Amino acid sequence: MRRALLALAFLALPVFLFLPASPTRADDIVSGISQNVIQIKSNYTGSDIVVFGSVENSRSSQGRDVVVVVRGPDARMTVRRRDRIAGVWVNSDAARFEGLPAYYYLASTQPVDRIAPPAALARYGVGIRYLYPSAVGSHHDPHFFLEAAKRHLKQVGLYAEAPGDIDFQSENLFSTHVPVPAAAPRGQYNVEVYLFRNGQVVSAQSTPLFVDATGLERQLYNLAHNAPLRYGLACVFMAMLLGWISSVLFRRPT
Amino acid sequence: MEIYLPVAEISVNWIVIVGLGTLVGFLSGMFGVGGGFLLTPLLVFTGIPSGVAVATTLSHVTASSMSGALAQWRKRAIDFPMAGVMLAGGLVGTGFGVWLFALMRRQGQMDLIVALSYVLLLGFIGAVMLRESLATLKASRDGAAAHLLHRGWFQGLPFKMRFRQSRLYISVIPPLAIGFAVGAMSAIMGIGGGFIIVPAMIYILRMPTNMVMGTSLVQIIGVTAVTTILQATSNYAVDIVLALLLVSGGVVGAQMGVRIGGKLRGEQIRLLMALVVLAVCAGLLWQLVARPSDVYSLTLEAP
């Protein structure tokens, strides 16, 4: 309960991130999301949130781009490469990455490479290509391992890019749908909205989004982690009980 | 039809999971094996993380073994002293297996060692069972009497014990050793070990086939129950919702399996099981030698 209240208090004030010094602070961006918390229930199959906002004090829509990035909690990733040794495919080399998000979604008014130069994109982590780990553990060039990690995450829908998928309701009002698949992990996400003008970030806003289990799912998860012995015993008891019940039900008089 | 698994943290189609549980439970009841060696790879194939699959399969094995064991018990086909001796070996083996598991993981290449030992073991057991059951079938068709039981090579060992129901008077060392080996494998491979224990009891201990089913099931219940608790307390990898789905299907399947198994003759059961074991072996071998669709694989962990 206290955690929930804290979370609500935190949500009440959208966190304004980096605002770069700009001589004429003309463009500004204001954004919101359709829900601050995604609740995982027993029938959870993923979710869909709407990110919306408006560009204020805009002189013109020319040379202006909006990028919406949703970043999941960081994960530790291990990529292994298999090689054929004596006819058998064997894990022969591995690389470990830290500081990459477990979920990443990007929607933008056009492909990010046309919005800004690579250095600017890398600075803000805009675009799957421009995501770099904070720490690497590898004996060799980790490049192919990093590419492989991103390829796998794209395949399972945890990493996605949707260039051109931002709808403008009017000249300055925009919105976009962000799919959150069921495989996306629990934790704190960040919804970041960037306004680029002529390849420069002129305004940005970040809002937290929480993905968390509720009700029975949460209780079971907590029990498994906080009282593992009781949880394990409960599993064994349930298995034996069901085994016994079925044996009684199916008993045939002989 | 989707249901969220709180520990695995993914959604699955519950009909598929219950169906898998039923299928494997059926084999379990018919052959007196737990079926973990089939269920674990099948669950991983449906997208469940392998740690959760290994740990949760054990609950399914416990339940279908329980169901099968009760059915056998009514037929008076359980040798409890024998099950107790093997279980004692099994619990020590499980502890050893958990330790070995950690050691192998530190050395890397654990996946390969597990897969290779599966292939070798299944290939050997399957081939032996196939040859023997075919020979027995042929002999009975020819009208010749089945060959006499040979005296085991271990007759000279000390600590002899009388197992009245199995009509055996043997040393406790071989059943303890079999229990130990299977307990260790259970911790490493996430299996109950019935597919190893059943042939071992038939061919090494020379127990009557009708006694082997119930006795091995009792031993498996003990080993899997302890391993489930170890997995829950050390790895937090047991998913109770997944276990419930698997178990619900499994216990029904196990009952059907016992019915059908009871109608077949011993050598026919052994022939069928030999074929299943060889099929799984071939599948695992194929995975080892076939070029993977992507030579890179990714593991995600929460920091």
pLDDT digits (tens, 9 = 90+) for A176-197: 999 998 888 888 999 999 999 8
pLDDT at A89: 82
Give A102 to chain B, closest Cα distance, Å. 8
Q: How far apart are CA B244 and CA A238, in angstroms?
A: 8
pLDDT tens for each residue of chain A, 254 residues long: 455 544 544 444 444 444 444 445 567 889 999 998 988 887 777 889 999 999 987 777 778 899 999 999 998 888 888 888 888 888 778 888 998 999 999 999 999 999 999 999 999 999 999 999 888 887 778 888 999 999 999 988 899 999 988 999 988 899 999 999 888 888 899 999 999 988 889 999 999 999 888 778 888 888 888 888 999 999 999 999 998 888 888 765 44
pLDDT digits (tens, 9 = 90+) for B192-247: 777 778 878 887 888 888 888 888 889 889 988 988 888 788 778 888 999 999 99
Q: Do A239 and B62 touch (CB under 8 A)?
A: yes
Give B194 to chain A, closest Cα distance, Å. 17
Q: Do B63 and A239 touch (CB under 8 A)?
A: yes
Q: Do A78 and B67 touch (CB under 8 A)?
A: no
Q: At what angle do helices A228-249 and B209-235 cross, to 10 degrees?
A: 150
| Residue corresponding to tokens 């196939």 | B130
Q: Do A224 and B248 touch (CB under 8 A)?
A: no
Give B10 to chain A, closest Cα distance, Å. 5
Give B169 to chain A, closest Cα distance, Å. 32
pLDDT at B64: 81
**Structural domain boundaries, residue B268:** 2-142+149-289
Q: How far apart are CA A156 and CA B293, in angstroms?
A: 15
Q: Do B298 and A149 touch (CB under 8 A)?
A: yes
Q: Could you tell me if residue B222 is inside a domain?
A: yes
The class that CATH gives domain A15-213 is: mainly beta
Residue of A nearest to B4 (CA): A42
Buried b (16+ CB within 10 A) or exposed e, B229-266: bbbbbeebbbbbbbbbbbbbbbbbbbbebbeebbeeeb
Q: Do B10 and A220 touch (CB under 8 A)?
A: no
pLDDT at A224: 87
Contacts of B95 (CB under 8 A, 6+ apart): B183
pLDDT at B146: 44
Both tokens of B154, joined, read 């271990």
Q: Do B225 and A75 touch (CB under 8 A)?
A: no
Number of folded domains that form chain B:
1
Amino acid identity of residue B292, one-letter, is P
Give B132 to chain A, closest Cα distance, Å. 30
- The closest of B286, B226, B217, B250 to B66, measured between CA atoms, is B217
Q: Could you tell me if residue B197 is inside a domain?
A: yes
Of B9, B62, B230, the CB nearest to A186: B9
Angle at B251 between CA A228 and CA B194, to 5 degrees: 80
CB-based contact (8 Å) between A80 and chain B? yes
- The closest of B61, B8, B21 to B185, measured between CA atoms, is B61
pLDDT at A15: 42
Q: Could you tell me if residue B302 is inside a domain?
A: no
- Which of B26, B231, B240, B246 should be substituted to probe chain A, the one whose Cβ sees the most A Cβ atoms within 10 Å? B240
Contacts of A43 (CB under 8 A, 6+ apart): B2, B3, B4
A12: left (phi over 0), alpha (psi -120 to 50) or beta: alpha
pLDDT tens for each residue of chain B, 303 residues long: 788 888 887 888 889 999 999 988 888 777 766 677 778 878 877 878 777 887 888 888 888 888 878 878 888 888 888 888 999 999 898 888 877 776 776 665 666 777 777 788 778 878 887 888 888 888 777 654 444 445 555 666 777 777 777 777 777 888 888 889 888 877 777 677 777 788 788 878 888 888 888 888 898 899 889 888 887 887 788 889 999 999 999 888 888 887 887 777 777 777 887 888 788 888 878 878 887 777 887 877 765
pLDDT at B277: 79
Instruction: Locate the domains of chain A by residue range.
Output: 15-213, 214-254
Q: Do B111 and A88 touch (CB under 8 A)?
A: no
B155: left (phi over 0), alpha (psi -120 to 50) or beta: alpha
Residue pair A167/A174 in contact (Cβ under 8 Å)? The answer is yes
Using CB atoms within 10 Å of the CB of residue A85, give its burial: 0 to 12 exposed, 13 to 18 middle, 19+ buried: exposed
pLDDT at B102: 67
Q: Could you tell me if residue B298 is inside a domain?
A: no
